[in-house]
A and B are shown apart, each in its own frame.
Chain A
């Protein structure tokens, strides 16, 4: 509601933008977990969002985990201390990273308006929704080109934060969980008045295809 209010009022503030981006991450991660079959279909339910049917996990542990992450992410976003959020899909047996869904976050600079020119008009809700819809459609369509995950997998979420960011004690440093022999595909992006989010997926190349 507050996001709606902010959108209707005019230009989105940094805080409102952080909320929008966090919400996008929440639904995006859920959608990826569903599309990539990290958890069984029974643990998902359909919700209407951005004019689409999005599958959201109903597993309490997963939801709790994501909420914890998004709480910190929203805080960092509103302070501009985060530049990347990565969803890494790891195999359980080999403990290797198979896929990396990377969301690059940039702060949109408003001060680049040249004197004499009109300031950029605020982005409409419809335009924003269309951009986010496009990313979700790409996530759904990515199943067609990503390799089939045949082993049991789990996931982890990494946050690339600035070194001077305040980090709660529930967080710890991690390695980047990089992929060996990777290929990558850049997805669409969306931007609010304060943030710009670019999506990208990197995946381990199928050794049989080399």
Chain B
């Protein structure tokens, strides 16, 4: 069995590595059977063939990096933490060596058996290593330590370089992130400015729209007022027209009546004239006959006079004078029945008749003149009215035209302004890359919304990038911390390396010293051998000498092997340091993969977000469409006439109302038409009268007047029906009010009875009867009458019975007369009655 100390410590075995040690023990056990050189070689092989400490599983590595910002450091730390223990393992034998070298050389010389610790024959005390072996091992360890220190230095330099690279990369990333952030901020600022400008423009447009709407409203209000004004003017004008028409009608009527009167007078005068002429002719003939026949013709004259009398009786009062004269004439003719008519009377009669004829002619002439004047005046009035209407119409037209012209000028100015504005807008909106049509407020609003959306997306992107930058910063900071740690570690290692270097120098010196000493000892040993060979003769231990020689050969061989294996150790150290470099490369690759993965995820996220936005927009569109369709359905427009019929009952309230109204309207239209027809007829007859001159007869329009009259009656009847209906409604309303009032009054009385304890009865003479709730009988009541002039003063005027009132005289005097408090009196009575009733009840019980 080999000793447990030397070999295990020589190759840096950590005591905690249980499984590895077990394997190694097995290996050592198997190596124990081999020669030392073979065992050392196999041990070296096991070290060189040791699997790298760091696995390159991408997922696990990424997880470590993901989970902690110090992931790389931790892996590196784990790689490095192995080294100190490994170095500690290395350190121990060196220290042992130094301790050993610290001992006196004589001790090592005096203990030569230690040189033969490995492979020594079992016969000698070869358990302790020999000094040469120890020196060799120390040399070997020193060379290994130096090699490892070199390796560590190289590693630290490489780590520094990589650290610098990582720092530069981080710096570049940071600058890139900063630049992107600045660019995005500038974009956001520009977009915000643009949005603000668009907002301002939109606000300005809204204000313009509001202003225009206000103007439109004002114009509409003015138009309404103007319309109302015109309406009132039209109404006034129509009223004036109506009045004028009535006056004209009256004037026409009076004219017609005057004409008729004049015509009647004229006719009467003509008849009278004709009759008088006839009478004159008869009288002349009779006079001629009288000349011959004498009184034989008196009978015929009498007949003529009677005829005249009969005719003259029908004449008007205006020509009473003529009647008187005729009467006189009749009287004279009566007288002439008895005596023959004298020539003077006939002459007087003729003269009178002539005067009458002249008078009639004058009247006719005057009448004609007046008729012509009336016609001329009527024409003038008509023309004047027409001219006035024309002037009013023209004035209205001119006003309308002026207003329209002003409105047109305003609209044109507004249109120009709007066109300029639109051009500006189109220029503004077509400036950017968005060349979509923006010719409507909706499109502008949509563009603004999309720009907002873009800004929001950019903001979210900026936020994401800021977060990424922050995480990168954090990562950078953690990396810097790691770098700091590495630097500290490097410094420590450099310090240790310096110590080790110093120690190595010492070891080198001691090695050289030991080599010299070994050479010296060897020469001394040779001298001993020669001396022993010479002195001891046959007793010389050739076997021992041979053994020594073999051992020297072995040492030479070992030296050669050590010198041969040093490059291998260096290679091994390089290989042992390679995993860490490889690990760094792997971590960088992992980081790169993570970045790519994150970028692809980011891209996917962006796509999903875009899809989400698209779906949201589609959802909004669909919602709008649904709202529009629902609105249509609500308005009554949305139905399919092929599958659905809209039905209504023929006899429905709207149709009834419409029928009533249309019937009323028709009746009014018919009445109006009839009245217009009547006016037209009257005007026509008037014109005919004027053109016919004397033939002034009123038109025979009895049927027209009758129909208008009937229409009016019908309309009045329907109006009467409406009024009756209204009256019925009013009666219903009044009855409901009465009912409600009675209900409320009863409620009030009940409330007063329940709360104040008195039943209130309003009597027909205006007085009020109060009967207590606790009264023993019906006659125990009080009657109150209002004071003079109903000024709100009540006084006690009586009661149900005089005896009852007499019983309360004291209370009445005390409360009512002295203190003037009816409520106090009533309350006292209530209490008394209550107590009396309570006593009575208790007695009954």
- Contacts from A to B (Cβ < 8 Å): 40-43, 61-62, 65, 68-69, 83-84, 86, 88, 90, 92, 95, 97, 100, 102, 154-163, 165, 167, 170-180, 182, 184, 200, 202
Does the CB pair B639–A65 fall under 8 Å? no
Does the CB pair B635–A100 fall under 8 Å? yes
Chain B residues whose CB sits within 8 angstroms of the CB of A158 once the complex forms: 646-648
Chain A residues whose CB sits within 8 angstroms of the CB of B652 once the complex forms: 65, 156-157
Complex partner residue of A174 from B630, B633, B643, B648, CB under 8 angstroms: B648
Chain B residues whose CB sits within 8 angstroms of the CB of A170 once the complex forms: 649-651
Q: A65-B651, A170-B651, A182-B635 in contact; A42/B643 too (CB < 8 A)? A: no
Select from chain B the residue with minimum beta-carbon distance to A83.
B644
Select from chain B the residue with minimum beta-carbon distance to A62.
B653
Cβ of B637 under 8 Å from chain A: yes
Chain B residues whose CB sits within 8 angstroms of the CB of A157 once the complex forms: 648-649, 652
Which 9 residue pairs across A and B have the least CB separation, nearest first?
A178-B636, A184-B634, A176-B636, A174-B648, A202-B634, A156-B654, A42-B732, A182-B635, A178-B635
Does the CB pair A156–B653 fall under 8 Å? yes
Does the CB pair B736–A95 fall under 8 Å? no
- Contacts from B to A (Cβ < 8 Å): 630-631, 633-637, 639, 642-655, 657-658, 661, 729, 732-733, 735-736
Select from chain B the residue with minimum beta-carbon distance to A181.
B635
Give CA–CA (A192, B630) in the complex, Å.
24
**What would 10 more interface pairs be, CB under 8 Å, given A171-B650, A179-B636, A202-B636?**
A62-B653, A86-B636, A100-B636, A157-B648, A170-B649, A171-B647, A171-B648, A176-B646, A178-B637, A179-B635
Does the CB pair A42–B644 fall under 8 Å? no
> Could you count the A-B residue pairs with CB atoms below 8 Å apart for me: how many are there?
113
Give CA–CA (A200, B627) in the complex, Å.
14
Give CA–CA (A42, B732) in the complex, Å.
6
Min Cβ gap B219→A in Å is 15
Complex partner residue of A176 from B639, B653, B735, CB under 8 angstroms: B639
Chain B residues whose CB sits within 8 angstroms of the CB of A84 once the complex forms: 639, 644
Min Cβ gap B154→A in Å is 75
Min Cβ gap B630→A in Å is 7
Complex partner residue of A172 from B634, B643, B650, B736, CB under 8 angstroms: B650
Give CA–CA (A173, B647) in the complex, Å.
5
Chain A residues whose CB sits within 8 angstroms of the CB of B657 once the complex forms: 92, 154
Give CA–CA (A179, B631) in the complex, Å.
10
Min Cβ gap B421→A in Å is 23
Among B633, B636, B643, B650, the one with the most A-chain Cβ atoms within 10 Å of its Cβ is B636
Give CA–CA (A97, B639) in the complex, Å.
18
Chain A residues whose CB sits within 8 angstroms of the CB of B630 once the complex forms: 184
Chain B residues whose CB sits within 8 angstroms of the CB of A100 once the complex forms: 634-636
Chain A residues whose CB sits within 8 angstroms of the CB of B631 once the complex forms: 182, 184
Does the CB pair A200–B634 fall under 8 Å? yes
Chosen A-B contacts, 16 in total, with CB atoms closer than 8 Å, are A41-B736, A42-B732, A62-B653, A65-B649, A83-B644, A102-B633, A102-B636, A156-B655, A160-B644, A161-B645, A162-B645, A167-B647, A174-B646, A177-B636, A182-B634, A202-B634
Chain A residues whose CB sits within 8 angstroms of the CB of B633 once the complex forms: 102
Q: A90-B654, A154-B657 in contact; A163/B634 too (CB < 8 A)? A: no
Select from chain A the residue with minimum beta-carbon distance to B733.
A42
Chain B residues whose CB sits within 8 angstroms of the CB of A43 once the complex forms: 732
Does the CB pair A40–B635 fall under 8 Å? no
Give CA–CA (A167, B649) in the complex, Å.
10
Min Cβ gap B650→A in Å is 5
Min Cβ gap A189→B in Å is 14
Min Cβ gap A113→B in Å is 28
Does the CB pair A160–B651 fall under 8 Å? no
Does the CB pair A154–B645 fall under 8 Å? no
Chain B residues whose CB sits within 8 angstroms of the CB of A41 once the complex forms: 736
Chain A residues whose CB sits within 8 angstroms of the CB of B636 once the complex forms: 86, 88, 97, 100, 102, 176-179, 202
Give CA–CA (A172, B648) in the complex, Å.
5
Give CA–CA (A94, B732) in the complex, Å.
28
Select from chain B the residue with minimum beta-carbon distance to A174.
B648
Q: A41-B736, A176-B639 in contact; A95/B658 too (CB < 8 A)? A: yes
Q: A41-B736, A154-B657, A176-B636 in contact; A162/B649 too (CB < 8 A)? A: no
Give CA–CA (A175, B652) in the complex, Å.
14
Among B633, B634, B639, B650, the one with the most A-chain Cβ atoms within 10 Å of its Cβ is B634
Does the CB pair B653–A167 fall under 8 Å? no
Give CA–CA (A173, B658) in the complex, Å.
17
Chain B residues whose CB sits within 8 angstroms of the CB of A178 once the complex forms: 635-637
Give CA–CA (A100, B630) in the complex, Å.
13
Chain A residues whose CB sits within 8 angstroms of the CB of B732 once the complex forms: 40, 42-43
Chain A residues whose CB sits within 8 angstroms of the CB of B644 once the complex forms: 83-84, 160-163
Does the CB pair A173–B639 fall under 8 Å? no
Does the CB pair B645–A68 fall under 8 Å? no
Min Cβ gap B552→A in Å is 98
Min Cβ gap B366→A in Å is 57
Q: A170-B650, A202-B635 in contact; A40/B645 too (CB < 8 A)? A: no
Give CA–CA (A35, B644) in the complex, Å.
30
